[in-house]
């Protein structure tokens, strides 16, 4: 009889699946052609630091790599939990598919639609010695949880003199442009969180990176915000080690060596920057491309070393230019490499407008803008 | 007629069934508003959808109103797979079983009626009168004299500590203080009803709960003097206590943020099958915060064993409850979250103890959250930065201070039992005073935490940028040592 009282679970799941398919269609439909679709930077030479249990690799996309990492996290630590809005059925982006079936609905579960509740709950769970992996469905919706992240999670250890910590907390959230996400499905809010001592901010560029960095984030004894480039969930595909491995936090990586100019970026933007590097090389400009990977605390040394070599720096991110994390990099590197710099630090970023729908191609730090900036810098 | 009989039989069957939720109490006869039976929702099996009923007002058994009919009639009707011949679209529109997914136990009505803004009355539980005598008919909790005396001694020590620390702040010995005058029973008696394994997420006026667990006067003094023995390493303002060994999570200043932490902790305790719950304290002002809603809803949905103890003392700094909420108190809010609650006279230590003890037992054994509203009055100023005479009358204050003192009330009960007398009281006050002054002198004589503590614990280990900044600060101090506090060891 209860069947008639409300929709059955199977109906609910069917509805949610429809919703998810809609979202996937949303992601994979129009608008993409405006940005050339390369997979993320070729990650063949990604350094896999810790031991890989099974030597095999599997060709998967970034979404599956996240799923893989979550599976390993849940499997390797019985005190780990994965939760958030719609997480139970697999998440609107399908990153948590199958996890509730395998690990039970007490360890992988839906939460009410309330970001401050999700993060606050996660802090309490983590403070009891658990690994709490919270999902905020879109980075655009993380702001109700801002107080919990900034005033609570980030300060939990410091304010207690290390009596307590919520280091087991990891907040996963998809960020960035998708071609048609407009104001509220496109934002890159990483800079807000890079202003908060006590947090770590990590953004992967590819499936291999995503899996290794997410596992590192989950196991790191500090609260981590893990921004996932949703543009790459389906698009970025590569051979990913099948076993359990982590990649180091707070270590940037040179993913393309060059001698004329250093380019620094993170996440989905690296693919665009890589294309600009390829174009520039046709014109005889040799670019060095660095994936910052962890934005807080960030690896200044590797950028400093590179700029000391090239004498030029370009930073690029999707977030608005003013107060963006590029400003921090520009200022820090100017301090450290002032006499070595041969041109002003260039920033190719989002505009200081809300993220616009039809104007997205104008707003974005596209390949042509980066290429122009590279040339301007080299010819300064 | 066959239809009528079936309907009648179905109803009587359902009345006996546990699936029948008793929603038919408002049985009235009234005209049918619309003649057509609405289509059943598309997700019902097609064999059931084919079934159409034509029934008229006269076909409904006497005493069963059309409005209440749905819960009994339709489900049974749907049990048959036998398709009925399609009849003309005449009949009633409100016999449909309510299957909107947003609710569980509610019925259709054709009355246009709004839910009243008035809360259902929540009585305030008390067992002791103002004179400290058992209220007629009250069942007093079992409380041995040792426990009762310990609660009382704790309340007195708390009062003396509050008084001396408040004065010390006024003398400029440390920067800030908050007393809990008027709320001693609410805090100490609630803490006494808990197990030490229960994890407390307090607001900032529950030093009594920490004292109950054995955090000693010296530890309190060290924290307020921000010295090198402060567990918080001098980083937070006074009264931001925390103690791992007492399961008392370090206090933070933002209001209500700790509530959802308690839910997460409670979920962990539940998953670990611990015989413990999480407990969070907060004030009436905190119930206006979004975090209150978040935590209440999460706790209910997650079935987390957590006690929400609201010290409703009538004031949020200068804001009276009339500017805070329109509900009649806080306990009533729990219904909307699907949570149990109780309202207790917070100036009756026995009632508080009893309520919290019962709530704790239910929370753990039934894995559910409980809201406990403890009605009390903030006799103190909000803090040392506040002068409450600016916004409340002296008469009001003296009424609560003199006539409604929770400590005096409890003492009268102890005296009535022959467990306490004035001489013991004087001795206890004097003893506490000496111990606290000694603790303050000791704390004052200690050094501040070293400069290195500025940079540790931001992360589990010190990152490069902080190492650089430490060097930078040390250089700045070396150049101008007179510009920096001399009592912080370098």
* % residues pLDDT > 70 (chain B): 81
Q: Which residue of A has its CA nearest to B280?
A: A124
The secondary structure element, H or E, covering residue B304 is: none
Q: Which residue of A has its CA nearest to B102?
A: A6
What is the SS3 assignment for A3?
helix
Residue B167 known to be catalytic: yes
User: For position B54, what pLDDT does the model report?
Assistant: 38
What is the SS3 assignment for A83?
strand
Give the C-alpha separation, A114 to A136, whole Å: 9
* Per-residue confidence band for B149, with pLDDT thresholds at 50, 70 and 90: very high
Closest by CA position to B185, among listed B412, B429, B449, B342 = B412
Q: B239 in the Ramachandran plot: left (φ > 0), alpha (ψ -120 to 50) or beta?
A: left
Active-site hit among B12, B36, B81, B167: B167
User: For position A14, what pLDDT does the model report?
Assistant: 47
Cβ contact B264:A155 at 8 Å:
no
Of A189, A210, A241, the last residue of a domain is A241
Q: Inform me whether the pLDDT recorded for B58 exceeds 80.
A: no
* Per-residue confidence band for B94, with pLDDT thresholds at 50, 70 and 90: low
Q: Max Cα separation, chain B?
A: 103
User: For position A54, what pLDDT does the model report?
Assistant: 52
Helix-strand-coil split of chain A, %, nearest 5:
40, 20, 40
* Per-residue confidence band for B1, with pLDDT thresholds at 50, 70 and 90: very low
Closest by CA position to B280, among listed B302, B252, B256, B298 = B256
Q: Which residue of B has its CA nearest to A121?
A: B264
Bridge-based pairing of strands B319-320 and B248-249 is unpaired
Q: Which residue of A has its CA nearest to B236?
A: A159
Give the C-alpha separation, B307 to B311, whole Å: 12
This model of the complex carries an ipTM of 0.88
Give the C-alpha separation, B418 to B416, whole Å: 5
Q: Which of residues 113-172 of B touch A (CB under 8 A)?
A: none
B104: which chain A residues are within 8 Å (Cβ-Cβ)? 5-6
Q: Is residue A246 part of a domain?
A: no
CATH of the domain at A92: 3.40.50.970
Burial of B386 (0-12, 13-18, 19+ CB in 10 A): middle
Q: Which of B72, B78, B294, B305 would best serve as a mutation to test chain A binding (most A beta carbons within 10 A)?
A: B294
Q: Considering only residues A49 and B174, tell me which one the structure prediction assigns the higher pLDDT.
A: B174
Q: Is residue A1 part of a domain?
A: no
Mean pLDDT of B146-155: 98
Active-site annotation of A, residues: 115, 185
What is the SS3 assignment for A220?
coil
Q: Is residue A4 part of a domain?
A: no
Convert the pLDDT of each residue in B412-452 to its tens digit.
999 999 999 999 999 999 999 999 999 999 999 999 999 99
Residue spans per domain, chain B: 2-79, 124-445, 452-483
3-state per-residue secondary structure call for B387-423: CHHHCCCHHHHHHHHHHCCHHHHHHHHHHHCCCCCHH
A161 touches chain B (CB under 8 A): yes
Q: How many CA atoms lie within 13 A of B325 on its CB side?
A: 21
Give the C-alpha separation, B106 to B101, whole Å: 11
Residue among B100, B230, B298 whose CB faces A121 most closely: B298
A104 touches chain B (CB under 8 A): no
Q: Is residue A320 part of a domain?
A: yes
* Rounded alpha-carbon distances, angstroms, from residue B66 to B53, B56, B71: 14, 10, 10
Cβ contact B184:B216 at 8 Å:
no
- Distance between terminal CA atoms of chain B? 96
Q: Note whether A148 and A186 are same-domain residues.
A: yes
Closest by CA position to B77, among listed B165, A142, B91 = B91
Query: Crossing angle for the helix pair B145-170 and B422-445, nearest 10 degrees?
Result: 50
* Rounded alpha-carbon distances, angstroms, from residue A92 to A105, A135, A190, B363: 17, 11, 21, 34
Number of helices (H) and strands (E), helices first, in chain A?
15, 14
Q: What is the DSSP string of B84-114?
A: PPP--S-S-SS-S----TT-SS-----S--P
* Rounded alpha-carbon distances, angstroms, from residue B175 to B178, B216, B440: 11, 21, 14
Residues in contact with A374: Cβ distance below 8 Å, sequence separation at least 6, in sequence order: A261, A263, A276, A277, A280, A285, A287, A314, A346
A163: which chain B residues are within 8 Å (Cβ-Cβ)? 231-232, 242-244, 250
Strand A313-320: give its sheet, edge to edge: A253-256, A287-291, A261-265, A313-320, A346-350
Question: Would the CB atoms of B267 and A124 count as touching at under 8 Å?
Answer: yes
Q: Note whether A210 and A261 are same-domain residues.
A: no
Residue among B98, B271, B297 whose CB faces A106 most closely: B271
Convert the pLDDT of each residue in B198-250 to its tens digit.
999 999 999 999 999 999 999 999 999 999 999 999 999 999 999 999 999 99
Question: Which superfamily does CATH assign the domain made up of B124-445 to?
Answer: Thiamin diphosphate (ThDP)-binding fold, Pyr/PP domains (3.40.50.970)
Tokens of A140: 């655009």
Give the C-alpha separation, B28 to A199, whole Å: 62
Mean pLDDT of B90-105: 74
What is the overall mean pLDDT for chain B? 85
One pLDDT digit (tens) per residue for chain A, 380 residues: 333 334 444 444 444 444 444 444 444 443 333 443 333 344 434 444 444 445 799 999 999 999 999 999 999 999 999 999 999 999 999 999 999 999 999 999 999 999 999 999 999 999 999 999 999 999 999 999 999 999 999 999 999 999 999 999 999 999 999 999 999 999 999 999 999 999 999 999 999 999 999 999 999 999 999 999 999 999 999 999 999 999 999 999 999 999 999 999 999 999 999 999 999 999 999 999 999 999 999 999 999 999 999 999 999 999 999 999 999 999 999 999 999 999 999 999 999 999 999 999 999 999 999 999 999 999 99
Tokens of B473: 């600060």
Cβ contact B237:A98 at 8 Å:
no
Residue among A128, A156, A157 whose CB faces B268 most closely: A128
Cβ contact B26:B79 at 8 Å:
no
Q: Note whether A206 and A259 are same-domain residues.
A: no
Number of helices (H) and strands (E), helices first, in chain B?
14, 9
Cβ contact A227:A202 at 8 Å:
yes
CATH of the domain at A350: 3.40.50.920
E strand intervals along B298-413: 306-312, 315-316, 319-320, 340-345, 370-375
Question: Would the CB atoms of A160 and B267 count as touching at under 8 Å?
Answer: no
Give the C-alpha separation, B356 to B345, whole Å: 12
Of A215, A241, A267, the last residue of a domain is A241
Cβ contact A166:A123 at 8 Å:
yes
Domain count, chain A: 2
Question: Would the CB atoms of A117 and B298 count as touching at under 8 Å?
Answer: yes
What range defines the domain where residue A310 resides? 253-378
Q: Note whether A235 and A278 are same-domain residues.
A: no
Cβ contact A186:A224 at 8 Å:
no
A219 touches chain B (CB under 8 A): no
| Neighbouring-strand partners of residue B373 | B310, B343
Give the C-alpha separation, A275 to A38, whole Å: 8
Q: Inform me whether the pLDDT recorded for B98 exceeds 80.
A: yes
Q: Note whether A59 and A152 are same-domain residues.
A: yes
Q: What sign results for the dihedral spanned by CA atoms A210, A216, A219, A225?
A: negative
A113 touches chain B (CB under 8 A): no
Of A201, A219, A241, the last residue of a domain is A241
Residue B260 known to be catalytic: no
Instruction: Name the DSSP class of A236.
Output: -
A195: which chain B residues are within 8 Å (Cβ-Cβ)? none
| Neighbouring-strand partners of residue A347 | A315
Q: Inform me whether the pLDDT recorded for B73 exceeds 50.
A: no
The secondary structure element, H or E, covering residue A357 is: none
Q: Which residue is associated with the tokens 């809201």? A: B371
Mean pLDDT of B72-90: 45
Q: How many CA atoms lie within 13 A of B431 on its CB side?
A: 10
Question: Would the CB atoms of B97 and A126 count as touching at under 8 Å?
Answer: no
Tokens of B245: 């060994």
Closest by CA position to B241, among listed B213, B276, B284, B204 = B204
Tokens of B365: 């054994």
Other C-beta atoms lying within 10 Å of the C-beta of residue A273 = 31
Q: Which of B102, B246, B261 would best serve as a mutation to test chain A binding (most A beta carbons within 10 A)?
A: B261
Mean pLDDT of B71-81: 41
Q: Is residue A247 part of a domain?
A: no
Q: Note whether A171 and A307 are same-domain residues.
A: no
Question: Would the CB atoms of B101 and A164 count as touching at under 8 Å?
Answer: no
Convert the pLDDT of each residue in B292-309 to its tens digit.
999 999 999 999 999 999
Convert the pLDDT of each residue in A306-359 to its tens digit.
999 999 999 999 999 999 999 999 999 999 999 999 999 999 999 999 999 999
Give the C-alpha separation, B360 to B370, whole Å: 8
Convert the pLDDT of each residue in A214-254 to its tens digit.
999 999 999 999 999 999 999 999 999 999 999 999 999 99
Residues in contact with A255: Cβ distance below 8 Å, sequence separation at least 6, in sequence order: A41, A43, A45, A205, A270, A274, A289, A290, A291
């Amino acid at each position: 009889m209860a069947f008639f009282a409300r929709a059955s679970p199977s109906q609910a799941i069917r509805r949610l699946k429809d919703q998810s398919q809609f979202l996937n269609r949303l992601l994979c439909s129009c608008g993409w052609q405006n940005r050339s679709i390369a997979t993320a930077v070729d990650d063949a030479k990604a350094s896999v630091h810790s031991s890989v249990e099974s030597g095999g690799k599997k060709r998967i996309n970034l979404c599956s790599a996240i799923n893989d990492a979550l599976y390993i996290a849940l499997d390797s630590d019985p005190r780990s939990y994965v939760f958030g809005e719609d997480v139970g059925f697999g998440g609107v982006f399908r990153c948590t598919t199958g996890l509730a079936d395998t690990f039970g609905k007490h360890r992988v579960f839906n939460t009410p639609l309330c970001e401050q509740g999700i993060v606050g709950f996660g802090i309490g769970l983590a403070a009891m010695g658990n690994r709490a992996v919270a999902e905020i469905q879109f980075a655009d919706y993380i702001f109700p949880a801002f107080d919990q992240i900034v005033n609570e999670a980030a300060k939990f250890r410091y304010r207690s003199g290390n009596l307590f910590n919520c280091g087991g907390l990891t907040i996963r959230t998809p960020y960035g442009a998708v071609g048609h996400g407009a104001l509220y499905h496109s934002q890159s809010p990483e800079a807000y969180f890079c202003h908060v001592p006590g947090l770590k901010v990590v953004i992967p560029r590819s499936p291999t990176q995503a899996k290794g960095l997410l596992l590192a984030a989950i196991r790191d004894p500090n609260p981590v915000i893990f921004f996932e480039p949703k543009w790459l969930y389906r698009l970025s595909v590569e051979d990913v080690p099948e076993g359990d491995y982590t990649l180091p936090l707070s270590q940037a990586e040179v993913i393309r060596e060059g001698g004329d100019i250093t380019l620094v970026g993170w996440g989905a933007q690296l693919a665009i920057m890589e294309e600009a590097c390829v174009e520039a090389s046709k014109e005889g400009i040799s670019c060095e491309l660095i994936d910052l990977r962890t934005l807080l605390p960030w690896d200044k040394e590797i950028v400093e070393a590179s700029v000391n070599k090239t004498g030029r720096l370009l930073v690029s991110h999707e977030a608005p230019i003013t107060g963006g994390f590029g400003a921090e990099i520009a200022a820090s590197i100017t301090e450290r490499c002032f006499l070595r710099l041969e041109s002003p630090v260039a920033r190719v970023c989002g505009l200081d407008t809300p993220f616009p729908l039809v104007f997205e191609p104008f707003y974005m730090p596209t390949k042509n803008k980066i290429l122009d900036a590279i040339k301007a810098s080299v010819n300064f | 007629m066959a239809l009528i009989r079936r309907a009648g039989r179905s109803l009587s069957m359902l009345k006996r069934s546990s699936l029948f939720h008793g929603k038919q109490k408002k049985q009235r006869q009234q005209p049918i508003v619309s003649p057509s039976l609405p289509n059943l929702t598309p997700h019902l099996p097609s064999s059931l959808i084919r079934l159409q009923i034509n029934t008229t007002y006269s076909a409904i058994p006497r005493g069963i109103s059309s409005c209440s009919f749905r819960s009994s009639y339709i489900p049974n009707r749907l049990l048959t797979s036998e398709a009925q011949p399609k009849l003309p679209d005449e009949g009633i529109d409100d016999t449909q079983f309510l299957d909107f997914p947003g609710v569980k136990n509610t019925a259709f009505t054709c009355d246009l009626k709004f839910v009243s803004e008035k809360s259902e009355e929540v009585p305030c539980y008390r067992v002791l009168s103002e004179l400290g005598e058992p209220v007629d008919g009250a069942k007093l909790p079992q409380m041995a004299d040792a426990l009762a005396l310990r609660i009382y001694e704790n309340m007195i020590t708390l009062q003396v500590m509050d008084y001396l620390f408040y004065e010390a702040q006024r003398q400029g010995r440390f920067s800030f203080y908050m007393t809990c005058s008027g709320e001693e029973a609410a805090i100490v008696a609630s803490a006494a009803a808990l197990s030490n394994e229960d994890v407390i997420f307090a607001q900032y006026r529950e030093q009594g709960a920490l004292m109950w667990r054995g955090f000693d006067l010296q530890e309190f003094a060290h924290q307020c003097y921000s010295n090198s023995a402060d567990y918080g390493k001098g980083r937070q303002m006074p009264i931001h206590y925390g103690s791992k060994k007492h399961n008392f999570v370090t206090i933070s200043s933002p209001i209500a943020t700790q509530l959802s932490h308690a839910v997460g902790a409670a979920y962990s305790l539940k998953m670990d099958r611990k015989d413990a719950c999480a407990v969070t304290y907060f004030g009436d002002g905190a119930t206006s915060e979004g975090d209150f809603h978040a935590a209440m809803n999460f706790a209910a949905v997650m079935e987390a064993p957590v006690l929400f103890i609201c010290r409703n003392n009538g004031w949020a700094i200068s804001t009276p409850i009339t500017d805070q909420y329109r509900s009649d108190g806080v306990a009533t809010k729990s219904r909307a979250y699907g949570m149990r609650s109780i309202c207790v006279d917070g100036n009756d230590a026995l009632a508080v103890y009893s309520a919290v003890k019962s709530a704790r037992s239910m929370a753990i054994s039934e894995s559910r959250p409980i809201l406990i509203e403890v009605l009390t009055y903030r006799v103190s100023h909000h803090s040392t930065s506040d002068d409450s005479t600016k916004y409340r009358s002296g008469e009001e204050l003296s009424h609560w201070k003199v006539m409604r003192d929770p400590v005096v009330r409890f003492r009268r009960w102890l005296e009535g039992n022959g467990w306490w007398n004035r001489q013991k009281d004087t001795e206890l006050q004097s003893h506490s005073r000496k111990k606290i002054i000694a603790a303050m002198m000791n704390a004052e004589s200690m050094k501040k935490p070293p400069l290195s503590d500025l940079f540790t614990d931001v992360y589990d280990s010190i990152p490069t940028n902080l190492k650089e900044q430490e060097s930078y600060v040390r250089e700045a101090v070396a150049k101008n040592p007179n510009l920096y506090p001399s009592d912080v060891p370098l």
